Structure 1
Amino acid sequence: MPAVAASSLKLPTAPVLAASPMEAVWLSEDGELETFRLLDRRAPQDLAQKIRTTLPILCHGPSVARRIRIDPFPALDLLELFAFVYPARFCIPTPGGLAQELGLPTPAGVEDAPAVLFRCMTRMLSDLKDRVHGADVPRIAMAMARAGWAWGPSVLAALGQEQDDGLRAPTSGLDAWKRLAEWREQAPPPPPGDRPVQPDEARFRLATLLGEGAEERRAQSDYASAVCHAFAPRDHEGAPNFVMAEAGTGVGKTLGYIAPASIWAEKNEAPIWLSTYTRNLQQQIDEELSRLVPDPRLKSERVVIRKGRENYICLLNFEEATRTVAVNRAGAIPLGLIARWISATRSGDMTGGDFPSWLSDILGTRATLGLTDRRGECIYSACSHFSRCFIEHGIRRARRADLVVANHALVMVQAARGGVDPAGRVNRYVFDEGHHVFDAADGAFSAHLSGQETAELRRWLRGTEAQGRGRARGLKKRIEDLATEGASREALEDILAAAASLPSEGWRQRTTEGRPTGPAEALLHRIRQQVYARARGADGPYDLEVETGEPVPGLLEAAGDLHEALNRILLPAKRLTKALAARMDEESEELDTASRSRIEAAVRSLEHRCLATVQAWMDMLTALGEGTPDAFVDWFAVSRMDGRDVDVGMYRHWVDPMTPFSDIVARPAHGVLITSATLTDGSGDVDADWHSAEARTGAVHLDYPALRVRVSSPFDYPKQTRVLIVTDVRKDSLDQVAGAYRELFRASGGGALGLFTAISRLRAVYNRIVQPLEEGGLPLYAQHIDNLNLSSLTEIFRSEEDSSLLGTDAMRDGVDVPGRSLRLLVFDRVPWPRPTILHKARRGMFGAKSYDDAVTRLRLKQAFGRLVRRGDDRGVFVLLDPMTPTRLLGAFPEGVSVERVGLAEAVAATREFLADGDLKEDGQQP
């Protein structure tokens, strides 16, 4: 793109602001640079005074505001401009990341950042001026400018437009749905074949995927060959070909299973679902599949990413939001940016797709993710956008695709609702990150009778009841044109009347203050009373829980009243469901396809969102008087955030969630592959390790044994890694823990990930070490502190080789950072399981102390696996826990020496090991 001189653009006359945790730099309109030391108590006040009189140019306003210790403020955020100029494109939300994406030199430090940000602004406006635009771009910009968008004048000038007189409709230009192509229904595809995949075929396909000249990986080829058993015809009903495959890091298991899976899909003309644990990992699998189908247009037909409906923009929600612009003009600004994205997105996916995650930080969740179908309000074919709907299009594409990239939660929820494909064409699954199948099943098959859940059901049934408080569409609005005859109309009215017994707006305050309204709130009040009366740490900031036994006075009576109230919802809901289903039969000749589809969707929604949920709650209430069935564990809990109650309720989980998983997901399938780098935990007893893995994957519940596959990592862990246990740091002294993190991070020169078992410990350590690290040129980021979502934090950490990142234990398995950007990992203490009521029940089932040890070894193994992602990586793993038992050390690869040393020795060993250079000189390839 040719450069355009800044003088030919209409640049805003505004200062530029950049900030690190220690310093803020202000570049005035006249080119004067002023530095503020943020540790000076006056610095935030002085900056606030400057900001009151102008709109500074900056990058990621919420993060800058947190760093300079003032509330978020209006600004010319360059990320808004980026999202307008380059919709559906990602950049790392820092001055350096923005410059890198635009092909400009990155700043050497915070003092260089304002000048770089100014150049970024000029480049973006220049690109906007030189691009060929559709007619919608100026119209969107005009709508945003009329709403007061700070970038409006500069953007309109770059587009060669003048701001109009405001006579146009406020929504003009925001109607992005009109510019989307429509999809068309097709004839049903044929039933799947059952032709097997031969090992030699899988090896050949793998070689083709790797390409000519690729290094031969014998382990990867062996893996692809071995897992072919999951793609063979099954021999018995209810007995899938079940394969458990542990593939060490570096084997290349993703391409290893893509090879046979893609062959099976092609041979048998049916989709295979590839499932992983997180949305980010779905994106990684999708990127690997570009090797299989390099042509983007062909790939869109053969490969589909599927997520829950709540991940995609709802065009009806978006249209309804645009109507509010007439009253709230400022709403046109975020809606304009969303309209630009709608015009460019591949799939409409707002979580992990091509929607920049940082846009939610800047615009707010309600203006972005609040536009998704989070609440199950879809009216399906009655929606004017049905033929353009991203969700419906994705569902139909998935039916004809070769490979569908899904996540564990979606697979399990869909299976529980009758199958991932109504036509029954999906009978093969690959569960990557298979060590998470247990946790995913635990969430999918649990039941929560809480304030939030019951209030949500009321909203789903009755819609928004408070004037002007949202656009939620109730059941009546969604289906009253379908429930036309007397019985169904009467059942619908009975449901809505009975739903008034569920918590309404303000329930949390009423139950806290002891003035509940209705039977549900009365029970929640009694549960809260019992929790606060019996739980330890009631004056602390964390969640509280107690057993359900020996209920406080009044609780059983409240449970009985709620049981009756729920039954008054359940019975008419059954009648309505039956009446709607009967209509499909009785009017089969008259009903058009769209109406039939709507009725089917309404029946499914009622069955799963109402009938199944209400029945589960009633069963839980019955158990309060009769006792919990052995397969389940029940408890009461108060959920808290920063010491404030956010929810209260009764919770039920399967003690072994792999029981429903095996019945609902595994048995109906013909082949299941569960694969991970960490299926076994390393107790030292190989058979015991595999038996434990079979329990965590559900294999123990099947009639025939699973095929066990293990392929070792090609990495030389004894040469590439060190494991150090620090023996002289008291883990209960946050000053000592912080000092250890500081010196270890200094020794590694950054590139460090610090993991914590509690958010409070993370925050305390961050506050103690951020200044010395930043002053030493080592940027420090932190989860729950920086106003950045986790995806953005990870991208920043990956891109800045000398930065460090602090996060919770949950990050141990969700960060993929190859190379020097992650060369040190420090755990604040052994990540033992939290001693919850649920964990206590599972200890009793799975082996008490040995269960605790297995869970902990797996966590250590997963964390260690973050260190070495390529053949030339080197890394040091440090545990700041002198009480680490030797029996946990099997978590680390064979041959890796584990040293118990003092902090000074650990710091010296870290510095020396990481200063030795990389491994390329030894002939190893990444």
Structure 2
Amino acid sequence: MNETGTPAQRSVKLAELPALVAYHGEAVWLDHRDAPAQRVSHGTAGLSARAKAPLLVHAPSTARRLRVERFFAFDLLELYAFVRPASFVLPTPKGLAETLGLVVPPHHDPVAEAKLLHECARLLLTELMAQSRQRRRTTGLAWAMARAGWAWGPFVLRALDFQAEGAAAPGIGIWDDLPEWSDGAPPPEPDHLPIQADETRRRLAELIGEGAEQRAAQADFAAGLTPAFCPRPEEDAPNVVLAEAGTGVGKTLGYIAPASLWAQRNQGPVWISTYTRHLQHQIDQELDRLYPNPAQKAQKVVIRKGRENYLCLLNLAEMGGQLTSRPVDAVGFGLVARWAMVTRDGDMVGGDFPGWLPDLIGQGRTFALADRRGECIYAACPHYTRCFIERSARRAKKAEIVIANHALVMIQAAIGSSNDEQRLPTRYVFDEGHHLFSATDSAFAAHLTGQEMADLRRWLLGAEGGRSSRARGLKRRLDDLILDDAEMPALVDAVLQAARGLVSEGWQQRLAENQAAGAAEKFLYAVRHQVLARSSAPRSGYSLECACAPLEPDVALASVSLDRALGALMEPMLALAAKLMRRLDDESENLESAERQRIDAMARGLQRRGDMEVGAWRAMLKALSHQQLPDPDAAPVFVDWFGLERNDGREIDVGMYRHFLDPTQPFADAVMKPAHGVVVTSATLTDGTGSDLAWMGAEARAGTKHMPLPAYRLRVPSPFDYARQTRVFIVTDLDKEDLSQVAAAYRTLFLAAGGGALGLFTAIQRLREVHRRIAPALEEHGLNLLAQHVDAMDNATLIDIFRGDVDACLLGTDAVRDGVDVPGNALRLIVFDRVPWPRPDLLHRARKSAFGGTAYEDQLTRLKLKQAFGRLIRRADDHGVFVLLDKAMPSRLLTAFPPDVAVERIGLKAVIEQTAAFLAENVNKATVRAAISGPRSGVEP
């Protein structure tokens, strides 16, 4: 974000601004609009940018590529976010120019991109001049931002025709302009009428549309799901369908067909849950087929996420009220407020909020504006009737299709339904079902760590020490609810007093200096000491862990003291929750619905935090102190260990960790058994072996083995001709531990493909080192190289850029692999650095021992390979190559690939030649040949 600027910088004319485009190997600088482009070194570009603020796109990424600190600049993305809030654009010069309708070079060309920047700015300012909707409020925001030194402020105010002299400052309270929601009667229980396979096929045909290709595999898939939409035979015995649909089957429309039929017939919702928030919006787009009328769709379809995903209007208003004392926040406030004026639903994560905006203005000025700590004051909030979260929750009560994510479903199940959420669904569809195990593992785990205790302290005490913060503590949230009660104020005071025994600000430094204060910090210090003492490489810079047993005496003593301190906190928390719940009964006739909801939410929050969080911590500590010895004849339920988390060598957390050995057991009990019908679907439910053991593994990972009735099994193979469309190579003459060889392989393979390549890594450090070695060479050949953990962008933004640039290359780890859905030529090569064996940590070791040893480990590895290969071919006309740089790949894992694909083990030279030939023949011949012909020569004028 642009924090400062001189008067000369603020009064400069647009044509006089320099322009800057920076990539990893070079930078291009224009002194002004009509000046010739100059290719310059990073050092020269950095010095020039500090001397005269340039036009650029994505200031943080530019600064990182120049390897300099953030500098004052005219970032076109900031201007775009102001002029076109809630609108998609790729955050690159080429992406911005394309969105504005300019002619752009077909390939990566920084000189041509730099020459487009002035015209991009002119078009945006011209567009702003023509805008009339909410013009006064827009002007108010621009005025506040300009006073704080926003680079674009003078340009924007001129475009809005605002003269500061003699004019009253326009208001910035955009929250007053938002529509209000209204409550309605709760819907009745849904009916239980079944649906039939033939009508499901007809509904699918309607969704696809007349004249469109009818795919038999997709129709078979849709019809095969109907058992999940029949009445269950008995309590706690839902009808469960495990459905593996190969890539290209069209599973989204396949499950929408029976789900929508059931919802409409029975007047009840079907919850469709997927793994990532980004995928929620892809499903939402598919539902345009079912509800082509936007107004009808708004009533029938709701995207539901956790509260921490939505903008909190109270947080935004408080931020706006502090701009006089904190002008540094003005630009971030203004850009978020502009988005809030037009957003569909206030969703800041995966919705219409620009994924690149937090990179520009900071996480604290974006995501921190959401209710990330559960500090909502509900009906006491002046913006309650306009709240995005409350509106979404109410719409979900009457919707036919609710698009959720696994994390939200797990949280709802863990804490139970409450009055501000609709009753638990009777029908679920879990898409991306291969992620259910990891989602449940996270949801039902307990971490007694410094960060978790600090978070609880903030939730209870709010801002401390006179610091400027929007954190609202328990007292502020409860004050007006307990004024007329004789006992509750004392309970609140007891909670707050006990909360001061949790770790406080600066705890990490005190642990490092042996200055731990209080029971909580002394426990963490003892745990840290045990982890470091038992590590073989304590100074490695990586995260460390060790088993709890045998327990060091200092840890045992500290655990008893901490258990006692947590008991003093837990008791008044639960007593306060009980008092609040009792008030709901005692005053049921007098409480307004909004006040009832607020009391209920506060009581449940205290109960959840007190019982499920503090109670879980106490159970962990009791296990350490041997106050609760496990039954030696019983199978273990939990896996406990101590851990020290580091990021780039810096310690960020320490404590005790507890995970269920089999987290699908609580998932089955809390989610599936109360439901009537469940679909679990994915392209990679099984590991590709085709055996009954593969299905048993899928049932174990999905939790259906804990159901009283066996799950229906459905497998619909992919319609793609993989033998014709793909090649799979294993490189036999490369040392995967020699990063110079690995980097050379990535470079030459990416060039052979002419871009459109995804490089996957099993370790972040390997990714960074390969990126450092190959980025300049690729850019010399006109290929833009993107990288997770390198570029100053979030993963979704990197994938969007990769998808939008047919010749770009992307490096990433598991998170990128899972989020990539790139049909067409933009992804034509995948290179994996080595076999993706599971990380050999203590949790995996315990599960490997319990779930089948090497066979279990092989299943997990096959699934990762299968999922990675599945990214390659997304359409019938796609072609691509998959390369593994690991000659030690066991033959038993090759079933991860389609059976009709011949896997070739050959040397790197032959792989490069065959990759280039296959893609040149089947993809974009001009693209591939241009890339392998050689680097650009000369300096363009």
Give TM-score scaled by structure 1 length: 0.96
Q: Which deviations, in whole Å up to 9, do the C-alpha atoms of 1:577-597 show, x marking residues without a partner?
A: 111111111112222222111
Does the Cα contact within 8 Å between 2:449 and 2:653 map onto a contact in 1? yes
Match of 1:20 in 2: 23
* 1:619 counterpart = 2:619: yes
Could you tell me how far apart the structure 1 residues matched to 2:368 and 2:893 are?
44
Deviation at 1:132, TM superposition (A): 2.3
Deviation at 1:264, TM superposition (A): 0.7
Q: Which deviations, in whole Å up to 9, do the C-alpha atoms of 1:590-632 show, x marking residues without a partner?
A: 2222211111011111111232100000000011122567100
Deviation at 1:536, TM superposition (A): 2.8
Aligned partner of 2:499: which letter?
A
Deviation at 1:165, TM superposition (A): 5.7
Which of 192, 195, 213 is residue 193 of structure 2 equivalent to? Answer: 195
Could you tell me how far apart the structure 1 residues matched to 2:520 and 2:923 are?
62
Which of 314, 319, 322 is residue 324 of structure 1 equivalent to? Answer: 322
Does the Cα contact within 8 Å between 2:830 and 2:872 map onto a contact in 1? yes
Which of 666, 670, 680 is residue 672 of structure 2 equivalent to? Answer: 666
Does the Cα contact within 8 Å between 1:873 and 1:919 map onto a contact in 2? no
Q: Which deviations, in whole Å up to 9, do the C-alpha atoms of 1:289-325 show, x marking residues without a partner?
A: 1111112221111100011100101000001111111
Quickly say closer, same or farther: Cα 1:717–1:628, change in 2 above 3 A.
Answer: farther
Quickly say closer, same or farther: Cα 1:534–1:425, change in 2 above 3 A.
Answer: closer
* Secondary structure of the structure 2 residue equivalent to 1:900: strand
Does the Cα contact within 8 Å between 1:194 and 1:232 map onto a contact in 2? yes
Which of 649, 655, 660 is residue 649 of structure 1 equivalent to? Answer: 655
* Secondary structure of the structure 2 residue equivalent to 1:481: helix
* Secondary structure of the structure 1 residue equivalent to 2:329: helix
Alignment of 1:643-792 (within 5 A): 643-684=649-690, 686-792=691-797
Quickly say closer, same or farther: Cα 1:712–1:29, change in 2 above 3 A.
Answer: same
* Secondary structure of the structure 1 residue equivalent to 2:342: coil
Alignment of 1:262-661 (within 5 A): 262-419=260-417, 424=423, 426-484=425-483, 485-626=485-626, 627=629, 630-661=636-667
Q: Percent identity, please.
A: 53
* Secondary structure of the structure 2 residue equivalent to 1:550: coil
Choose 505-514 or 102-111, whichever is displaced more. Answer: 102-111
Q: Which deviations, in whole Å up to 9, do the C-alpha atoms of 1:698-718 show, x marking residues without a partner?
A: 111111100000001000011
Could you tell me how far apart the structure 2 residues matched to 1:750 and 1:32 are?
31
Deviation at 1:810, TM superposition (A): 3.1
Which of 884, 888, 896 is residue 879 of structure 1 equivalent to? Answer: 884
Does the Cα contact within 8 Å between 1:10 and 1:158 map onto a contact in 2? no
Does the Cα contact within 8 Å between 2:33 and 2:115 map onto a contact in 1? no
Does the Cα contact within 8 Å between 2:734 and 2:887 map onto a contact in 1? yes
Q: Which deviations, in whole Å up to 9, do the C-alpha atoms of 1:132-186 show, x marking residues without a partner?
A: 2322122222222222211111111111222346864xxx532110010000110
Does the Cα contact within 8 Å between 1:658 and 1:698 map onto a contact in 2? yes
Does the Cα contact within 8 Å between 1:694 and 1:700 map onto a contact in 2? yes
Does the Cα contact within 8 Å between 1:220 and 1:253 map onto a contact in 2? yes
Aligned partner of 1:692: which letter?
G
Could you tell me how far apart the structure 2 residues matched to 1:229 and 1:308 are?
30
Does the Cα contact within 8 Å between 1:536 and 1:544 map onto a contact in 2? no
Deviation at 1:425, TM superposition (A): 5.9
Does the Cα contact within 8 Å between 1:145 and 1:163 map onto a contact in 2? no
Q: Which deviations, in whole Å up to 9, do the C-alpha atoms of 1:191-215 show, x marking residues without a partner?
A: 1111111111111111011001111
Aligned partner of 1:645: which letter?
E
Deviation at 1:14, TM superposition (A): 1.4
Deviation at 1:550, TM superposition (A): 1.6
Match of 1:115 in 2: 115
Could you tell me how far apart the structure 2 residues matched to 1:375 and 1:381 are?
17
Does the Cα contact within 8 Å between 2:417 and 2:424 map onto a contact in 1? no
Q: CA RMSD in A?
A: 1.6
Unaligned 5+ segments in structure 2 are 1-11, 926-941
Match of 1:5 in 2: none
Quickly say closer, same or farther: Cα 1:12–1:595, change in 2 above 3 A.
Answer: farther
Aligned partner of 2:460: which letter?
L
Match of 2:808 in 1: 803
Match of 1:161 in 2: 162
Does the Cα contact within 8 Å between 1:683 and 1:887 map onto a contact in 2? no
Which of 796, 817, 824 is residue 822 of structure 2 equivalent to? Answer: 817
Quickly say closer, same or farther: Cα 1:885–1:166, change in 2 above 3 A.
Answer: farther
Aligned partner of 2:452: which letter?
E
Deviation at 1:697, TM superposition (A): 0.6
Q: Which deviations, in whole Å up to 9, do the C-alpha atoms of 1:634-680 show, x marking residues without a partner?
A: 00000001111000010000000000010000000000000000000
* Secondary structure of the structure 2 residue equivalent to 1:366: helix
Deviation at 1:894, TM superposition (A): 1.3
Could you tell me how far apart the structure 2 residues matched to 1:37 and 1:12 are?
21
How many residue pairs match? The answer is: 903
Q: Which deviations, in whole Å up to 9, do the C-alpha atoms of 1:234-253 show, x marking residues without a partner?
A: 01110000000000000000
Does the Cα contact within 8 Å between 1:128 and 1:159 map onto a contact in 2? yes
Quickly say closer, same or farther: Cα 1:30–1:809, change in 2 above 3 A.
Answer: closer
Quickly say closer, same or farther: Cα 1:536–1:295, change in 2 above 3 A.
Answer: farther
Aligned partner of 1:415: which letter?
A
Match of 2:933 in 1: none
* Secondary structure of the structure 1 residue equivalent to 2:820: coil
Match of 2:147 in 1: 146
Match of 1:915 in 2: 920
Aligned partner of 1:363: which letter?
I
Does the Cα contact within 8 Å between 1:55 and 1:75 map onto a contact in 2? yes
* Secondary structure of the structure 2 residue equivalent to 1:297: helix
Quickly say closer, same or farther: Cα 1:429–1:584, change in 2 above 3 A.
Answer: same
Does the Cα contact within 8 Å between 1:191 and 1:425 map onto a contact in 2? no
Q: Which deviations, in whole Å up to 9, do the C-alpha atoms of 1:836-857 show, x marking residues without a partner?
A: 1000110011101001100000
Alignment of 1:209-228 (within 5 A): 209-228=207-226
* Secondary structure of the structure 2 residue equivalent to 1:606: helix
Match of 1:78 in 2: 76
Aligned partner of 1:444: which letter?
A
Could you tell me how far apart the structure 1 residues matched to 2:280 and 2:309 are?
13
Quickly say closer, same or farther: Cα 1:495–1:735, change in 2 above 3 A.
Answer: same
Could you tell me how far apart the structure 2 residues matched to 1:541 and 1:822 are?
34
